[in-house]
Structure 1
Amino acid sequence: MFNIASRIDRLPSTPMLRKILALCGIGWLFDAMDQGMVSGVMAAIGKDWALSTSQLGMFGSSAMLGMILGAALSGMAADRWGRRSVITVTLVIYGIASALSGFSVNFPMLLILRFLTGFGLGGELPAASTLVSEYSPTKIRGRNVIILESFWAWGWIAAALVAYLLIPVYGWRIGFWVGAVPALFAAYLRKAVPESPRYLELKGKDKEADALVSKMEKEAGITYNHESSDTEMQMSKEHVSFLDLWSKKYRRSTIVLWVIWFGLNFGYYGFVLWTPSLLVGKGFALVKSFEFTLIMCLAQLPGYFSAAYLVEKIGRKKVLVVYLLGTALAAWLFGHAGSTNEVLAYGCLLYFFSLGAWGCTYAYTPEVYPTVARASGSGWASAFGRIGAFIAPMIVPVIYTAYGKEAGYTNVFIMLTAVFAIVAVVVGILGKETMGKTLEEISN
């Protein structure tokens, strides 16, 4: 063996790594754009098709159902057939289904296409974050994955602009079309993304793995003596099963990740998909609610960048706990906002802390499993989390309707506050720190 892991860990950031990060990030941006578009489309299509509150909840949850299946299957597929193939194929599925969503002629057709869109989206995210994590040296691994996740903010900002500028003029269909074509182009660009050297080494493709790492070493001006290689990876199997993730070796990591992913998904999608509609319910015009959402989305960027800095300074666990508690506090304040200024201020805090927590979660998730289980473990955690994303958009309207517009709005955010706080406690008690450790050290 050529000890691929230790060679990657001694590298600085190289042009090849930055290229991989950018190409994965562009696809991530369009995935986010689709998700961000849903809240704008939900508010507009509700009026256009005279949909009930429960139907809007189904619309918001349909893609989440697809994400559950996509995340679970793609994680196992990425561990069997490679990260590169999965991140390309799933982006194509997402792009085609999103484009066709704009041609929906009835509600059932729209639900089916949103399910397929979610399948592609849910499949891509765990595989892409795993690939970037495996290419990154220990000292910048967390930062790189959060930078990848920060492309999500740009996608939401683009979606908010489309919702604010185009949907009121051209209707909700334009929302699906605007992001679909660029997403398919991004899938084409991803043909240039190479496979993970750690994965290639695991599969016995030593020469291919060595060639990729040698290229990065050459870019960094580092030479490597192959004769000095002294570490040989010992793997008892080439992939793990779902049950293996619950063995004694992985159980603690699996429990913590599943709680994080479920809670974050439930809380996040409980407010982002419904924010424009809830603001309309508070008396703001539809265009004004889109404007508020756009302003709040801008707060995602400093949330990501501050988390990217802090994870390499104070650690993943501390950042997760702080940002989750910050999200809980912001959710409480947003639910009790009584003026326009308070809605904007507390909404910005909500987006700042929640997206910082998301970035740290994506950095933390692939770090707690070894290469043989990394994509599968990440995929199953994401899949379980999407159950929370599936449930939340249907629970929110029930609470909102049961208590009336004013009390219902407040109670929705009290519920979300409790969810974020519980996740913070679980991470604080059971989470383990991964900062400064190699992927091999963490998983042993």
Structure 2
Amino acid sequence: MFSRSLAMSEIIEIARISRMHAYTFVAVAMGFFIWGMLSTFAPISTLISSFIPKSMYVLVLTLPLIFALLGNFIMGVFADRLGRKLAFMITMLSYGIGVVLFMVSQSLPVLMASLFLTQFGVGGEEPALLALLSENFPVRYRGAVLALMPNFANIGAAVASGIAILTAGAFYPTKVAIGITALIAIAVLIVSRLLMPESIRWMEIKGRAEAARSYVSGLSVTNERFEPVVPSTGIWFRFAFLAVIGISQFLSFGLMAYILGPAEFPSLTAQILFVANVGASVAGFVGAYIVNTVSRKAYTLFSYLGGLVTMFLILPFASTSSLAIFYVLLFLNMAFSEFAWIARTVLEPELFPTGMRASMIATIRVLAYGTYIGSIFLTFSFTVFQYIIYNVGLWLLGVVGATMWLLRGFETAGRSLRGLDGRP
């Protein structure tokens, strides 16, 4: 048990893992799993739906992302003002309806409606999910949990693309199998989210200390003590750094995993999705261990340098005449992309105060989504060579950002986040 002199956020930082954490783990993992499955709906639809002419591929792939962008921003602000759990109720309703529409869609308008709803929902969950993880898990596990949970999105995308491969891209079997799998996951998600607690830190800063205390009253704690984060840069420098590495990773991953198939190799869309997400999934478990044991700053630079090198290696092999080598190199590049994603998802909630955490994460991701949408329009008519060179440039941007943070940033590994809220 704990001393009543401890603040709720301090108890969370040194707590032992409990049932509360288990419910949160399942709820967040399933949320990201569904995010991954639903992110494949648009590219898989271009593969299986005869009612989508190739001239409409770009719009099918990009218009839903505008709703993901809106979901990120609107629900990120909502989560900071009214709570993480209430935001989840809205997002689950949105993508639950969207999944049903996807299963019954036989025309482009119905399909687009399903994509709008699913993308608004999963886009809206990201900021609140990352904020909740950083706010409710002990310091000693925070890096690993922030790294591991988003990896379930890769697993979800691999499952959906694997289903498309197994059904040979047949229209009805593919949609029904993917849809039923997603609905089962949503059912598990609803139960786990009803059982998990609200963010303890959020309740504390909103003046709901007694409600927070009721959640943690049964927790036992360790004797660990963690020094607080000592911010050495302003919030807007942190924002700029995270925006740069976010644009680099989000665009390079999305363009290679989700857009390369429809743009350059339409018949290989499901296979490229599968290889990319399996590579990212495997790397996610490795990265979750590494990021929790080394300097965040060094880890970030390592991840982006690896992505840059492996993207260069892909350049001479991006063709159907060397598919085996291409798939191996794509697997490796997506592994480093996952390492870079881990760097982002760990650092985003670790660099902002509680009261603006979800909103700032949302704003960064709005920038990433916006540039991603523009990049799809820009690159869809590129040759394969031009397409890979563009991605090399994106990775180079990430290396610049990671180097900037290595030189001027501050360390967050193994540190208490109370320093971000101005508390010693």
TM-score range, shorter chain: 0.7 to 0.9
Change in CA separation of 1:128 and 1:213 when aligned onto 2, cut-off 3 Å: same
Cα shift at 1:167: 5.4
Q: 1:27 aligns with which of 18, 22, 31?
A: 31
Other-structure match for 1:386:
369
**1:417 partnered with 2:392:** yes
- Cα distance change on mapping 1:96 and 1:180 into 2, 3 Å: farther
Match of residue 159 from structure 1? 160
Note closer, same or farther for the CA distance 1:179–1:96 as it changes in structure 2 (3 Å cut).
Answer: farther
8 Å Cα contact 2:127/2:361 also seen in 1: yes
Q: How does 1:39-438 map to 2 (within 5 A)?
A: 39-45=43-49, 48-49=50-51, 51-53=53-55, 55-166=56-167, 168-171=169-172, 173-174=175-176, 177-189=179-191, 190-217=193-220, 249-277=234-262, 280=265, 286=267, 290-291=270-271, 293-337=273-317, 339-399=322-382, 408-430=383-405, 431-438=409-416
Q: Report how far residue 412 of structure 1 moved.
A: 0.4
TM-aligned CA deviation for residue 426 of structure 1: 1.3
1:103 Cα deviation (Å)?
A: 3.0
- Contact 1:29 / 1:151 at 8 angstroms: preserved in 2? yes
Q: 1:289 to 1:86 in 2, by over 3 A?
A: closer
2:15 to 11, 17, 31: 11
TM-superposed CA distance for 1:356, in Å, is 2.0
CA apart distance, 1:331: 2.4
CA displacement, residues 264-305 of structure 1 (integer Å, 9 cap, x when unaligned): 222221121123335636xxxx3x653454244322233112
1:377-434 CA-to-partner distances (Å, cap 9, x unmatched) read 11211222211232232222122xxxxxxxx112101101111221221122134431
Q: 1:70 to 1:178 in 2, by over 3 A?
A: same
Q: CA separation in 2, counterparts of 1:276 and 1:42?
A: 10
State the shift of 1:374 in Å.
1.1
Cα distance, 1:377–1:293 mapped onto 2, change above 3 Å = closer
Conserved 8 A contact 2:258-2:273: no
Query: Take 2:360 and 2:212, find their aligned partners in 1: how far apart are those partners?
Result: 23
Letter in structure 2 aligned against 1:204:
G
Q: Deviations over 1:86-112 (max 9, x none)?
A: 123212211211321333343344334
Q: Take 2:216 and 2:157, find their aligned partners in 1: how far apart are those partners? A: 34
Q: Is the 8 A contact 1:307 1:359 kept in 2?
A: yes
Give ranges in structure 1 of 5+ residues lacking alignment.
224-247, 400-407
Task: Identify the range of structure 1 (129-138 vs 169-178) with the bigger mean alpha-carbon deviation.
Answer: 169-178
Identity fraction in percent = 21
In the alignment, the residues of structure 1 paired with residue 370 and residue 392 of structure 2 have an alpha-carbon distance, to the nearest angstrom, of: 18
SS of equivalent residue, structure 1 residue 159: helix
Q: 1:48-107 CA distances to partner (integer Å, 9 max, x unpaired)? A: 125134x21111112210111111111111111111111232122112113213333433
> What residue in structure 2 maps to residue 244 of structure 1?
none
Looking at structure 1, the residues matched to 25 and 413 of structure 2 have their Cα atoms a distance apart, in angstroms, of 20
* Equivalent-residue separation in structure 1 for 2:134 and 2:273 (angstroms): 31
Secondary structure (helix, strand or coil) at the match of 1:134 reads: helix
Please say if residues 28 and 148 of structure 1, whose CA atoms lie closer than 8 Å, have aligned partners that are also in contact: yes
- Of residues 193-202 and 327-336 in structure 1, the stretch that sits farther from structure 2 once superposed is 327-336
Question: Which letter maps to 1:428?
Answer: T
The two structures, once aligned, show a CA RMSD in angstroms of 2.4
Aligned-partner residue type, residue 29 of structure 1 = F
Q: Deviations over 1:218-243 (max 9, x none)?
A: xx5x69xxxxxxxxxxxxxxxxxxxx
For 2:125 and 2:326, locate their aligned partners in 1 and report how far apart those are by CA, in whole Å.
Answer: 33
